[in-house]
Amino acid sequence: MKRTVYIVFLLLFCIATASAQKADSDTSRKITAVQISGLVADIDSNKAIPFVTVRIKNARLGTISDYDGFFTVVAKPGDTLLFSSVGYKSGLFFVPENPEEDRIYMQKQLKKDTIYLKTKTVMPFSKEGFEKAFMDLKLNDEDYERAMKNLNEQELALIYENTPISGGVAFKNVMAERNYQAYYAGGIPPANILNPVAWYKFFDALKKGKFKNPDKK
User: Per-residue pLDDT tens for 130-181?
Assistant: 888 888 877 677 777 888 878 888 888 888 788 887 888 888 888 888 888 8
122 by Cβ neighbours in 10 Å (0-12 / 13-18 / 19+) ranks as: exposed
What 8-state DSSP symbol labels residue 48? Answer: B
| Per-residue pLDDT tens over the stretch 104-139 | 999 999 999 877 788 888 777 777 788 888 888 776
| Per-residue pLDDT tens over the stretch 27-61 | 456 788 899 999 999 999 999 999 999 999 888 88
d(CA 140, CA 134): 14
Is the distance from CB of 107 to CB of 81 less than 8 angstroms?
A: no
3-state secondary structure at position 12: helix
Domains of the chain: 34-110 (2.60.40.1120), 127-207 (no CATH)
